[in-house]
Structure 1
Amino acid sequence: MLHIANIAPSRFRLWTRALREWRHGEPELRILDKLCRRSQTAIDIGANYGVYSWFLTKYARDVVAFEPQPNMVAFLKAALGSSVRVEQVALSDSAGVATMRIPSDHFMDGCATIEEQNTLSTQNVEEISVPTRRLDSYQFGPVGFIKIDVEGHELKVLEGAEAILSRDRPNLLIEAEERHRPNAIASVIDYLKPFGYSVYCLKDRKFRLLSIDEVRKDSAGTAYNYVFSLRVDL
């Protein structure tokens, strides 16, 4: 039997997914207006189904989504139309080709990765070759916000965005988990510290400034979206 979600138009499917995430999903969706700069570009790295991209169109001048999976790219283009520029590439620290491992288990939807240190928690994996590029290889105007959800490859993505980070100091929302890569969170914090970033997490819809000691203590077994910003008024 066909499920209505699989035959509904892509835009409707994205709208219903976005509504569900707004109500019951990641609370960070509710503070994107504080993180985006309305006159600048927002970048969604690891766009998947495009929920963040959909919300970002409300708060940024323009939105660029990066997603290497062909089926996801087709969905994004159909669902978002001309409101979002979609790039079918995996961002990293160099240009080339990488192997993306895509779990076939439904409960691991959104867990595809090119990070070699991410062993995944399933044996049911499809492998595809995907192109890689540095974010700095693109010609963007001022970038005000970057969201990164790449299942362990976030440090390499940041290393490939050094020029943009130096030039624009965008606010960052980064998923980093120890189960994806050992020392994942601390390594990201250490990399961003010379740029002047402080790290926050969202607790009860309020930003909480974190020390590196708190991050190291709480990171094991804990999934966080971390906010990095130069601002002190979050």
Structure 2
Amino acid sequence: MTTFAAAVASRLPGGLVGSAAVALYPRFEPELRRLADFCPPNGVAVDIGGWYGPWSRRLAARCDRVVTIEPVPHLAEHLRRTLPSNARVVQGAATDRAGTARLWFPEGDSGDRGVSSLARRDIHAHCLEVPSITVDGLGLSGVGFVKMDVDGGERAALLGAAELLRKDRPALLIELESRLGPIAPAVDLLAGQGYAGWLLAGRRWIALDGFDLVAHQARTEHLVHQGLLRRAFVPHRERYINSVLFLPDGRVPGTS
């Protein structure tokens, strides 16, 4: 997301950026093409970290209702204008407490690059105070799937959804990147709740247990900096995997 948005997001109207994201995302994030493997039809889906809506739009076509959580004000407003009518947009940062939080951005960015975070890193230069919310505080029910992209804030966001995970046992697709921080806290938290991780390697799902995701990401991180267009259209021997599917209670991708 980073290099694509850095190259074009500041030069194009939001609608065009959103359309490009929706069109190109499935080419380098193939999990989006495999919704049937883990996202129940109908029901409710939650998109935490909506950005320009590539996941929300696909989910809205499959599910009865989508709740999209996006902390960046102008992106949340863009989503309200452009997503289908069965999508509800909540402007806020999903974490483990309700209140306010500082959302950090790189120099010259206001959220379009998709690398804003509640945890300040060396790339961040300025911040904006935004509402902080918990998923449990939204009072949702019948949730079958949750997608989460929160740039290092995964454990806190999961703690804020503890009751939903206990009650609905949804499938979770979480972006975990060791370059942003340790991935073990989120993995261990979910393992303690009966969830096991899966990765889409080529055309098949493999168990996270026994796969060294940290080493894989270190070996393939150079692909992240090549940009969305090159990652989408130029063949590579392997891809950078940062999306982990978590399924509860012994479920396997592709089974009901």
TM-score range, shorter chain: 0.7 to 0.9
2:105 counterpart residue number: 102
Matches within 5 A, 1:203-218: 203-211=201-209, 214-215=212-213, 217-218=215-216
Q: Match for 2:28 among 3, 25, 29?
A: 25
CA distance in 2, matches of 1:228, 1:163: 16
1:189 counterpart residue number: 187
Q: CA deviation at 1:217?
A: 4.7
Cα separation, partners in 2 of 1:83 and 1:233, compared to 1, 3 Å: closer
2:56 counterpart residue number: 53
Matches within 5 A, 1:1-234: 6-7=12-13, 10=15, 13-22=17-26, 24-104=27-107, 109-116=113-120, 119-120=121-122, 122=123, 125-181=125-181, 183=182, 185-211=183-209, 214-215=212-213, 217-218=215-216, 220=218, 223-230=241-248, 231-234=251-254
Q: How many pairs were matched up?
A: 222
CA distance in 1, matches of 2:146, 2:131: 20
Q: What amino acid is aligned across from residue 229 of structure 1 in structure 2?
A: L
CA distance in 2, matches of 1:214, 1:127: 34
The answer to whether the Cα contact below 8 Å between 1:186 and 1:212 also exists between their aligned partners in 2 is no
Q: Which runs of 5+ in 1 are unaligned?
A: none
Q: What amino acid is aligned across from residue 115 of structure 1 in structure 2?
A: A
Q: CA deviation at 1:214?
A: 2.9
Q: What amino acid is aligned across from residue 188 of structure 2 in structure 1?
A: D
CA distance in 2, matches of 1:217, 1:128: 34
Q: What amino acid is aligned across from residue 72 of structure 2 in structure 1?
A: Q
The answer to whether the Cα contact below 8 Å between 2:44 and 2:144 also exists between their aligned partners in 1 is yes
2:4 counterpart residue number: none
For residues 121-140 of structure 1, the C-alpha deviation after alignment (integer angstroms, 9 at most, x for no partner) is x35x3310011111111111
Q: What amino acid is aligned across from residue 149 of structure 2 in structure 1?
A: D
The answer to whether the Cα contact below 8 Å between 2:68 and 2:90 also exists between their aligned partners in 1 is yes
Cα separation, partners in 2 of 1:213 and 1:206, compared to 1, 3 Å: closer
Q: CA deviation at 1:79?
A: 1.3
Q: CA deviation at 1:49?
A: 0.5
The answer to whether the Cα contact below 8 Å between 2:49 and 2:68 also exists between their aligned partners in 1 is yes
Per the normalisation by structure 2, the TM-score is 0.79
Cα separation, partners in 2 of 1:19 and 1:213, compared to 1, 3 Å: closer
Q: What amino acid is aligned across from residue 52 of structure 2 in structure 1?
A: Y
Per the normalisation by structure 1, the TM-score is 0.86
Specify the SS of the correspondent of 2:83: helix
Which fold has the larger relative contact order, with Cα–Cα distance below 8 Å and residues 6 or more apart in sequence?
2
Q: What amino acid is aligned across from residue 168 of structure 1 in structure 2?
A: D
Q: CA deviation at 1:211?
A: 1.1
Q: CA deviation at 1:207?
A: 0.8
The answer to whether the Cα contact below 8 Å between 2:57 and 2:84 also exists between their aligned partners in 1 is no
Q: Which runs of 5+ in 2 are unaligned?
A: 1-8, 222-240
Q: What amino acid is aligned across from residue 227 of structure 1 in structure 2?
A: L
Specify the SS of the correspondent of 2:101: strand
Specify the SS of the correspondent of 2:115: coil
The answer to whether the Cα contact below 8 Å between 2:37 and 2:253 also exists between their aligned partners in 1 is no
Q: Compute the RMSD of aligned alpha carbons.
A: 2.4
CA distance in 2, matches of 1:233, 1:18: 24
Q: What amino acid is aligned across from residue 243 of structure 2 in structure 1?
A: N
Specify the SS of the correspondent of 2:157: helix
